[in-house]
Structure 1
Amino acid sequence: MTDTAETFRRVPLPARPPRLIATDLDGTLLHDDKSVSERTVAALAAAEEAGVEVFFVTGRPARWMDVVSDHVHGHGLAICANGAAVVDLHRGGHLVEVRELTREAAVAVVTALREVAPGVTFAVERTSGITYEPAYPPFSDDPGVAVAPVGKLLGADAAHAGQPVLKLLAHHADLDPDAFLQLARRAAGDFGQFTRSSPSALLEVSGRGVSKASTLARCCAERGIAPEEVVAFGDMPNDLEMLTWAGTSYAMANAHPAVTAATTYATLSNQADGVATVIEGLLTLS
């Protein structure tokens, strides 16, 4: 680990150590190549050994959690799909809790966005996997998935209709990402929770009230952990609710401007192991 004095010079720290660390993955804990550095692995292990719980809180689905599944200690739980699922990584991504987007709400979102953003295309993320429309950008991590118009994907007779919808994804090839988010919230905010984590105009839609923050709050309440006992890390708009809920929050140096403006402190970039830098400092507090 780095010298403690160097950590204090580079990144500010709260007055007291936390009981729980909540960290986003992409653009935050992970390097750009989706790896976890040896320094970060050591920091996570040291936190758990010191009695500080670590929660991975991500927009990723459970099936994409292999990047960190070997680095989960203790309880083994992670919050996935922007709060729509709590999964047990010790049990191969077993779903502990699901907070679904109802079919009716998803259809209402599709209808509203078609009206205000012609050219929008959709994908449907269920507990069983993802399906998407023919014009939607394909996922290289999910080859061979079902492709069909979104009306069919959300139909009562769809192949996986019995599996809950975790989130709806809406992509637009031409709109500015932040402008698309604001447009969608105005047009369809009554039907779902809208956010984004991609540099492109790709929106993620969960059920009303479902976010990283609301699910993390539920998990913390079960453990008797108050918001002021949580330190959170993130870089994109889908982290904002979590970062403002936590007592102490850090924006990565590479964070979206809205995240930087909303957080308590800033740390180094994901490439420079900004999360590990803070954890190393936190473990020196008493």
Structure 2
Amino acid sequence: MDRAGRISAENLRAVEQARASGAEVMIVTGRSWRSTLPYYRALAMTGPAICYLGALVVADGTGRVLEHLPLEPAAWHPLRRLALAEGLAVTAAVAVPGGADGPAGGDRGRELGLAADVAYATGRADDFNGWEDWNPYTEIDPALDRCASPPTMAAVYGDRSVARVLAAFPDGLPRAQFDLSDHIEGETVLHVWHEAVDKGRALARYCRERGIPPEAVLAVGDAAMDVTMLRFAGIGVAVPGSQPAALAAADWVASPAEAVARALGSRG
């Protein structure tokens, strides 16, 4: 996508060419399913999509859930208590109703219903710009009463709230990981995921279950969160202007269209 969130005609053609060659095309993203769906449709996809870095896998365009890995109660409850006690700006993204009450990371094919993709926030952060861009459908719920179970992902917004959470939990939270890789000046956000959530791990699991070897995979990314995916793939591609970590992990630096043309050309 470009900075306006549009897929170029060139990249749309590249996806069509890849699919026509017999390749399977898949979205692996940190976005929610709700935010991914417009791009899924634009690319005329019909199969699974990996969302929330791998915390959610949907089966198809209906949003039928195949796998879900929310935060553990031991991680979510202390974070929620701190946020409410000190007025921190925290959001809870809920991909699947019931959260951790369902089978976390269940066997592929064991469906958990449809992705709900709702989000709740204690409130907006005064020291965070671009709230609407980051939270297009987040509802304000000061006590987070509507988040009945541990969410798929929690996010802490603004310098003050992020600093307080990091100070309160210097060793992290149980079975969780902190991610500050999206840091932008004026838009500090700390994501909190289950410790097993990882793009590379999710894609590797999918490929293993489908009998697809790593050397038959081409992955395209641009950020630190893409590094494990780029390293897993036989050909890891970082687009020009990617974050340094992605550039260092990549085999090629190319646009998606250039990478597909080069890969198909190498196959004759």
TM-score of the superposition, structure 2-length normalised? 0.76
Question: Is 2:258 the partner of 1:277?
Answer: yes
One-letter amino acid matched to 1:237? A
One-letter amino acid matched to 1:260? L
Question: Is 2:95 the partner of 1:95?
Answer: no
Question: Is 2:27 the partner of 1:56?
Answer: yes
Match of 1:45 in 2: 16
Q: Which one is further off, 215-224 or 194-203?
A: 194-203
CA deviation profile, 1:69-101 (whole Å, cap 9, x unmatched): 22445642111111111124422x332221111
Match of 1:3 in 2: none
Distance (whole Å) between structure 1 residues aligned to residue 205 and residue 168 of structure 2: 27
Instruction: Compute the RMSD of aligned alpha carbons.
Output: 3.2
Match of 1:208 in 2: 195
TM-score of the superposition, structure 1-length normalised? 0.71
Distance (whole Å) between structure 1 residues aligned to residue 235 and residue 227 of structure 2: 13
Q: How does 1:51-200 map to 2 (within 5 A)?
A: 51-73=22-44, 75-91=46-62, 93-109=63-79, 121-127=89-95, 128=116, 129-136=118-125, 138-140=131-133, 142-143=136-137, 145-148=139-142, 152-153=143-144, 158-162=145-149, 165-173=151-159, 187-188=171-172, 190-195=174-179, 196-197=181-182, 199=184, 200=187
Distance (whole Å) between structure 2 residues aligned to residue 266 and residue 185 of structure 1: 38
Q: Which one is further off, 67-76 or 80-89?
A: 67-76
Preserved CA contact (<8 Å) 2:120 2:138: no
Preserved CA contact (<8 Å) 2:56 2:67: yes
One-letter amino acid matched to 2:25? V
What runs of 5+ residues in structure 2 fail to find an aligned partner? Answer: 96-115
**Structure 1 pair 220–132 and aligned structure 2 pair: CA distance change class (3 A):** same
Match of 1:257 in 2: 244
Aligned length: 238
Higher relative contact order structure (alpha carbons within 8 Å, sequence separation ≥ 6): 1
**Structure 1 pair 105–182 and aligned structure 2 pair: CA distance change class (3 A):** closer
Match of 2:212 in 1: 225
**Structure 1 pair 113–266 and aligned structure 2 pair: CA distance change class (3 A):** farther
Match of 1:5 in 2: none
Distance (whole Å) between structure 2 residues aligned to residue 198 and residue 281 of structure 1: 33
One-letter amino acid matched to 2:172? A
